[in-house]
Structure 1
Amino acid sequence: MRLALLCPGQGAQGRAMFELARADSAAGALLDTMIAQAGLDAPVDAVLADDTLLFANRHAQPLVVAATLANWKALERDLPAPAIVAGYSIGEVAAYAVAGALAPGAAVALARVRAGLMDASLGATPHQALVPVSGLPLDAIEALVRQHGFHVAIVTGDDSLIAGGRADRAAGLAAALAAAGARSSLLPVAVASHTPFMAGAVAPLAAALRQALSDPQVPVLSGISGERITRRDKAVEHLSRQVAEPVLWRECMDALVESGVTVALELGPGAGLSRMLQARHPGIATRSVADFRSLDGVRGWLARQAD
């Protein structure tokens, strides 16, 4: 088995996002520590119960990282060492913690800093949006996106991407996409991540990363290039640039195949990354911890892949 671990971004968080990890006492204790370091401005139970709070950038980023790393803590001792780790958007911060370049608490603190810098970058354009689009070739989608003042934020497939731009232009973009035969929706976020709108966050995030990151002990895929990162200096550069440049998740999925990965486990919350990878590369046995009711279920599935 050559195992890849996948760390998700925002979008799948919910009230039950910590339940699986809390079944393990060590993971539950770590989770409590990380939540205390997340800088929430309301009790965690109140945040989990209110989608307005839970999907706010300042809460979502540190809590998604905390959930991912708590699940990793619960499973780490029973899993083979990963061959590679990949993270989607804020999940790339969690990926560096899984790879040993960050302590879990430091990763949650960095997620909090990252969210604050991105929120501060809203500046003169306070109302932003992310729009998933599919159903047309990428070049056709990109042309329509540019015509409406949007930027490519994340490339997810050969005919799908997420675009970021001004919220007041989202309806016009959606109408143009529908007329061209594409499908689109609106994500529950108010920050155009991975676009030039976030350029002001790059330098201060790089400074924070230099203080926290060390060399990863396992290669981490760069979200902006799909290349394997094994050095701290490269990690700082790519992880800081990522907030203002497109995430090439399609290339990251292809890089898993090139790295000889045979099994991939998404650490949750959610199962979006595992579903994308399963659709694009069905030869890789892929699941998410969110697919299972218990940690033993995850362990059992992984054991069967090793047989």
Structure 2
Amino acid sequence: MSRARLLLLCPGQGDQHPDMFKLARTNPAANTLADRLLSGHAGDDIYANRIAQPLIVAATLSMWEALRAHTPPPALVAGYSIGELAAYGVAGAIAPEQAVALAAQRAQWMDDCASAAPGQALLTITGLTLASASKIAEQHNYHLSIETGEDSCIAGGPAAQADQLQQAIEAAGARSRRLPVAVASHTPYMRDAVAPFAQALRATPFQPLQAPVLAGIDAATVYDQDRAVDTLSRQLAEKIRWLACMDAAAEAGITVALELGPGGALSKMLQNRQPHIHTRSVADFRTLDGIVKWLDRAAEDA
């Protein structure tokens, strides 16, 4: 795989499911790690913020533990929302246990923000330019949360105005869908979580990054703790420019991308945006060996 430049993608919330550790657990080391990471972080409602965030980080890092001895060193790591914290675990900067603990703290501070301004919502906007979507959103006290395409994004704001915003979006000839989320993440509604999360990150021992991480807020590459603390904390209350992150990966010469799961939303977006990059998700495979063989083939074609 000497010619290949590998991007590892770390997903956010939305595609978690009860069997999301099953494939990683077929590797003994990953099985042991999963047991350690899940201690104290399990729960019945895997979609509740306080359970979902540490679970997703644990699942991502367990999968990487299962694969890392059989893949080339990544050239770049990128994470979507909570996945950006997992990305620093994948890059070797933060120990897995610390990453999961930080995810739990992050979720709690976000929940505190939601409790301070109850009745929050997220919804998708498809079929409008980002500038038009932002303008309509602002008229209903919503803010763009994540830019996912040239004409697609997610916006967050007060649930009480969601119906009005959706009607305005449809009147403009576009489409909208309400997401099952009660936290307006990556908007100013989360601003009170930024400082405590930054403080927690500063207090976390960082090791040298084994691969740079893309910052969601500006798609720039991060190589050190100071920049990681700044971008990871700010993304709680600032929009994520995922569209720019996908373009930055292409500009970095990435030839192969693997989403570490759960789910395959990031790999689908990247495949649509940058079709020349060989892209799959671990969710596409039934065995770890199948993933490794695909990586080998993709590298040969790169």
TM category, shorter: over 0.9
Task: Report the Cα offset of residue 24 of structure 1.
Answer: 1.1
- d(CA) in 2 for partners of 1:105, 1:158: 37
Partner secondary structure for residue 181 of structure 2: coil
Change (3 A) 1:131 1:87: same
Amino acid corresponding to residue 256 of structure 1 in structure 2:
A
Matched, 1:187 2:179: yes
SS of aligned partner of 1:155:
strand
Task: Write the distance in 1 (CA, Å) between the matches of 2:279 and 2:205.
Answer: 29
The alpha-carbon deviation at position 306 of structure 1 amounts to 2.0
What SS is found at the alignment partner of 1:110?
helix
Query: Aligned partners of 2:212 and 2:166: how far apart in 1?
Result: 38
Distance 1:294 1:237 in 2: 38
Shift of 1:123: 4.0
In structure 2, the partner of 1:283 is 276
The answer for the alignment partner of 2:22 in structure 1 is 19
- Note the 1:32-111 alignment, pairs <5 A: 32-38=35-41, 40=42, 42=43, 47=44, 53-111=45-103
Match of residue 114 from structure 1 = 106
In the alignment, the residues of structure 2 paired with residue 20 and residue 169 of structure 1 have an alpha-carbon distance, to the nearest angstrom, of: 41
AA aligned opposite 1:226: A
Q: What are the superposed Cα offsets for residues 26-75 of structure 1, whole Å, 9 maximum, x if unpaired?
A: 1111011101153x4x4xxxx2xxxxx11110001000111111110110
- Is residue 24–residue 31 contact of structure 2 (8 Å, CA) maintained in 1? yes
Give the superposition deviation at 1:213.
4.6
Give the deviation of 1:11 after TM superposition.
Answer: 0.4
Of residues 170, 184, 188 in structure 1, which corresponds to 2:162? 170
Task: Give the match for residue 50 of structure 1.
Answer: none
> Which position in structure 2 is the counterpart of 1:272?
265
Structure 1 residue 19: deviation in Å?
A: 1.0
Figure out how many residues of one structure are paired with residues of the other and give that number.
296
- SS of alignment partner, residue 13 of structure 1: coil
Q: Is the CA contact (8 Å cut-off) linking 2:54 and 2:103 kept in structure 1? A: yes
User: Residue 294 of structure 1 aligns with which residue?
Assistant: 287
Q: Does 1:245 align with 2:238?
A: yes
Partners of 1:284 and 1:268 lie apart in 2 by 18
SS of 1:122 mapped into structure 2: helix
Given that 2:267 and 2:281 are in contact with CA atoms closer than 8 Å, whether structure 1 keeps it comes out as yes
- Partner AA of 1:240 in structure 2: S
User: Which residues in structure 2 correspond to 1:124-163 (within 5 Å)?
Assistant: 124-163=116-155
Partners of 2:38 and 2:148 in 1: CA distance: 30
> How far is 1:88 from its partner?
0.3
Q: 2:200 aligns with which of 203, 208, 211?
A: 208
Structure 1 gaps of 5+ residues are 48-52
Mean Cα deviation higher: 13-22 or 222-231: 13-22
Identity rate of aligned residues, in percent?
56
| Superimposed CA distance per residue, residues 123-155 of structure 1 (whole angstroms, 9 cap, x where no aligned partner) | 442121111111111111111111111001001
Amino acid at match of 2:125: V
Question: Hey, what does 1:2 align to over in structure 2?
Answer: 5
Distance 2:32 2:169 in 1: 47
Q: Write out the 4+ residue segments of structure 1 that deviate beyond 2 Å after TM superposition.
A: none
Tell me how far apart the structure 2 counterparts of residues 268 and 60 of structure 1 sit (CA, whole Å). Answer: 13
Work out whether residues 213 and 236 of structure 1, in 8 Å CA contact, stay in contact via their aligned partners in 2. no
| SS of match in other structure, 1:117 | helix
Aligned amino acid, residue 7 of structure 1: C
CA RMSD of aligned residues (A): 1.0
1:146-176 Cα deviation digits (max 9, x unpaired): 1111001001110011000011111111111
Q: Which amino acid aligns with 2:209?
A: P
Range with bigger deviation, 237-246 or 205-214: 205-214
